[in-house]
Homo-oligomer: A and B are copies of this chain.
């Protein structure tokens, strides 16, 4: 298809498509003539992925370039591509020197071990969870994360990973992972606060 058709079908404006081509986020079309290129399904899929990374993942263009480079690198195993995406979606957390941090990190590592989870030692999610656990410990909160870990594992295994087609096109798998991670995360957070409202109403007015 021509660029005008690619734009109409994808809903992405032509100047935006040209920008993605210049930045290398979108691969070039087949050269049909000196001034004419042809685009196909792979361009549509890539545009969907880019929009998902920007609008839903809210990733900066530099991170999107890394993700797209990983998606386009045929030599990378799919697991590594998904890892790069997960890590791009995680906030960068710097370890804070001190005993508090070490104790929290030890608690996080032990939790993951006990769960038998396959999570890299250098995964940024470990540092992210360590930061929250360190804060909870300093505040004197009793940090029992096991019920949360069990719920996370159940939802990941039974719902979220079911939406990712690991053997299909990488663009589609990565898009599903981004949408699932971000949107189900937002939905769950709103549901948790609703459950709080409902549960506190029940405790304060047990008769109703």
Contacts and interface: CB of A to CB of B under 8 A. Distances in A.
Contacts of A158: 147
Nearest to A115: B198
A77 interface: yes
Classify the interface of chain A: helix, strand, loop or mixed. helix
A90 interface: yes
Interface of A: 52, 56, 77-79, 82-83, 86, 89-90, 112, 117-120, 123, 125-126, 128-129, 132-133, 135-136, 139, 141-142, 144-145, 147-149, 151-161, 163-164, 166, 177, 179-181, 183-205, 208
A191 to B, nearest CB: 4
Nearest to A200: B82
Contacts of A128: 186, 190
Contacts of A166: 200, 203-204
Given A125-B193, A152-B191, A156-B195, 17 more contacts: A52-B139, A56-B139, A118-B197, A118-B201, A129-B190, A129-B191, A129-B194, A132-B186, A148-B155, A149-B191, A152-B188, A152-B195, A153-B199, A156-B192, A166-B203, A185-B189, A189-B189
